Amino acid sequence: MRESERPRQLLLEALPLFRELGDQSSVGRTLWGLGNGYYFDREYPTAKVTLEESHAVFRTIDDRFGLGWALHTHGLVSLKTGDIEAARKDFLEALELFKEGGDVSGMVLQLDNLSQVIRVDGDPGTATRLASAARVHQRSTGTGIGQLLSEQEGRTGREGLSPPDAEKVWTEGQALTLDQAMQEAVAAARRATTSDAKRNG
């Protein structure tokens, strides 16, 4: 039995009970937990559907905290499956929700997530600067999961740059406050969307 199978089984058993009780908050969180498990087990299609159901529940009950975390994981699934626009949308919305709620760990993770989207957009300099800022704020806030995810996926945060350029930009990122880094991330992510719209228009 895989390590993830026992918790998954418990969640699958709990889900219909919460539905029967009409406990929508627990339904949403159980779906999110299942979606996380499917993501880490690389069962991306199942993760996508499960997380989208959790989104619907969280929106219905206006659970912004739960919605932010479900969007975070859904965005990661979208990145893995090559749907960059869905990932961008998820991470930007999650960032706004975490800012509203003052959830620093969530904000820092979305900063790291958006750096990956911006790198795919073809801007490795900005992506590296933001990845560096995310790393600094992960350490200062104790948000180790972002670095753990990067290490598991073999990402350094410096991809696409020569060592001297990467070092220079990395140093710049270390000096950014969290607010400065988030503003730059949002602007860069939205700029790419605007550019695509103009090209396609």
Residue type, 113: N
CATH number of 7-82: 1.25.40
pLDDT tens, residue by residue, 37-68: 999 999 999 999 999 999 999 999 999 999 99
pLDDT tens, residue by residue, 93-136: 999 999 999 999 899 999 999 999 999 999 999 999 999 999 88
Ramachandran bin of 91, using left for φ above 0, alpha for ψ from -120 to 50, beta for the remaining angles: alpha
Higher pLDDT, 27 or 194: 27
Q: How many percent of the chain have pLDDT more than 90?
A: 76
pLDDT above 80 (res 2)? no
Average pLDDT for residues 131-146, to the nearest whole number?
A: 77
pLDDT tens, residue by residue, 154-169: 677 888 899 999 999 9
Contact 185, 114 (CB under 8 A): yes
Domain-by-domain residue ranges, the chain?
A: 7-82, 84-192
Average pLDDT for residues 21-38, to the nearest whole number?
A: 97
pLDDT above 60 (res 31)? yes
What does pLDDT average to over the chain? Answer: 89
Q: Which two tokens stand for residue 105?
A: 């760990």
Sign of CA dihedral 48, 54, 59, 64: negative
Higher pLDDT, 16 or 149: 16
What angle in degrees, to the nearest 10, is found between the helix axes of 145-152 and 124-141? 130
pTM: 0.89
Q: Measure the CA–CA gap between 180 and 169, rounded to whole angstroms.
A: 15
Tokens 């919460």 -> residue: 18
pLDDT above 90 (res 191)? no
Q: What's the confidence (pLDDT) of residue 156?
A: 78
pLDDT above 80 (res 194)? no
Q: Which two tokens stand for residue 78?
A: 């979208």
Tokens 């607010």 -> residue: 179
Q: What's the confidence (pLDDT) of residue 201?
A: 46
Average pLDDT for residues 64-74, to the nearest whole number?
A: 97
Q: How many percent of the chain have pLDDT more than 70?
A: 86
Angle, CA 34 vertex, CA 57 and CA 92 arms, to 5°? 60
pLDDT above 50 (res 198)? no
User: DSSP secondary-structure letter at 15?
Assistant: H
